[in-house]
A and B are shown apart, each in its own frame.
Chain A
Amino acid sequence: MKPRHLPRVALLLLLLAIGLLLGGCQRSEPLPLRLTNVTGHMPDLDFKLTDDHGKAVTGADYRGKVVLLYFGYTHCPDVCPLTLAHLHVVMQRLGPLADGARILFVSVDPSRDTPAVMHAYVNAFDPRAVGLTGDAHAIEALSKRYRSAFTREPGNTDGSYEVSHSSAIYLFDRDGHARVLATPSAAQDDIVHDLHLLLSSGATP
């Protein structure tokens, strides 16, 4: 190689290095998510509720964490526990990484689901699960925000009622952006896969 070619080679290498650096910094590159990708199609995580310690919390309190949002109620002995038990297995499979994630279980039955009831309930499933309850309007607002729905119908016995609720699980990245919509029947491998992607991207805590 003749000496006069050296600056050109160096320039090329420099350009290549800059290109790689820019590429590495770029976050708009779509993540190869396996489940329904809702990036850009749903609003950021935002709410004003009460956690299971009785503390007022907002969506901003969970920035820095990957969030799994699920609506349900504690007097649901079948489907809600099944979903939360599966999410517990998912968290276990993430190992220490699971500390970067939170399961937010939002009650659609706030009149019965006090923070104390919610606390006992979520902790029976996973230490990284948080129970959220609060004002009926605030819960409705959160539910509507994610086009989730729930209904309450009076039951046939003493003041009881039947609740039907959306079964979707919404995954948010560390910046609070909605990224994935999962159904309870989604393969555990796929949820674990997508959580791995979300946990290794976005803002660091």
Chain B
Amino acid sequence: MKPCRLSFLLAGLLLAGGVHATAADHVHASHAWIRVLPGDLPAGAYVTLQNDGDQPVALSGASSTVYAEVMLHHSSSEGGMSRMTMVDALPVPAHGTALLAPAGYHLMLMKASALVKPGDTVKLTLEFTDGSTLATDFIARPANAVDENH
């Protein structure tokens, strides 16, 4: 009976895996970079997320071994005023993209444990609302970098 129960369990796991593919399985991250600011000032991180799945997914935030605090933010400009607000999640539509780019959505990176210099690569673990994660390499760029892709 024992081997039988095990194979049932395995089949169940495989089935679960097949039916419930995670958000991270379907998302590709590209153009990932960090604008590095002097001292221990918070930095902004940007990335393009592409979802090739049939279901919409949503980014809920990120974590990092380098930055103690990471927050998903949105910058907006209304009536000539700029402001930043915290966001719970950023949807990535099915077969669509979501952009984290200057003057829009960004990951705010705070409390760096080590000095990050332009040219460095920093790994951020992107987190989705279903709990899945996607480790992504971000390139550190100088403060006055202009995002030529957007």
| Chains A and B bind each other | yes
B-contacting residues of A (Cβ < 8 Å)?
74-82, 84-86, 88-89, 117, 120-121, 123-126, 149, 156, 162-168, 183-185
Contact partners of B41 in chain A: CB under 8 A: 74-75, 77, 117, 121
Please give the number of chain B residues whose Cβ is less than 8 angstroms from any Cβ of chain A in the complex.
Answer: 28
| A-B CB contacts (within 8 Å), total count | 91
Could you tell me if A81 and B143 are in contact, using CB atoms closer than 8 angstroms?
yes
A-contacting residues of B (Cβ < 8 Å)?
35, 37-39, 41-44, 73, 75, 77, 80-86, 102-103, 106, 108-109, 142-146
For the complex, what is the distance from the CA of A42 to the CA of B84, rounded to whole Å?
28
Could you tell me if B146 and A89 are in contact, using CB atoms closer than 8 angstroms?
yes
For the complex, what is the distance from the CA of A77 to the CA of B75, rounded to whole Å?
10
**Known contacts A78-B44, A78-B102; A125/B81 CB under 8 A:** no
Could you tell me if B82 and A165 are in contact, using CB atoms closer than 8 angstroms?
yes
Interface CB pairs A-B, < 8 A, 8: A76-B84, A77-B109, A80-B82, A82-B102, A86-B146, A121-B37, A162-B83, A184-B103
Could you tell me if A85 and B81 are in contact, using CB atoms closer than 8 angstroms?
no
Distance from B61 Cβ to chain A, minimum over Cβ atoms (Å): 14
For the complex, what is the distance from the CA of A22 to the CA of B102, rounded to whole Å?
49
Contact of B37 among A81, A156, A164 (CB under 8 A): A81
For the complex, what is the distance from the CA of A76 to the CA of B108, rounded to whole Å?
9
Which residue on chain A has the smallest CB distance to residue B46? A78
Distance from B86 Cβ to chain A, minimum over Cβ atoms (Å): 8
For the complex, what is the distance from the CA of A2 to the CA of B73, rounded to whole Å?
84
For the complex, what is the distance from the CA of A137 to the CA of B43, rounded to whole Å?
29
Distance from B76 Cβ to chain A, minimum over Cβ atoms (Å): 9
Instruction: A77-B43, A124-B37, A164-B82 given; name 20 further pairs at CB < 8 Å.
Output: A76-B82, A76-B84, A77-B37, A77-B41, A77-B42, A79-B103, A81-B44, A84-B143, A84-B144, A85-B145, A121-B38, A121-B41, A123-B38, A124-B143, A124-B144, A156-B86, A164-B81, A165-B82, A167-B81, A184-B77
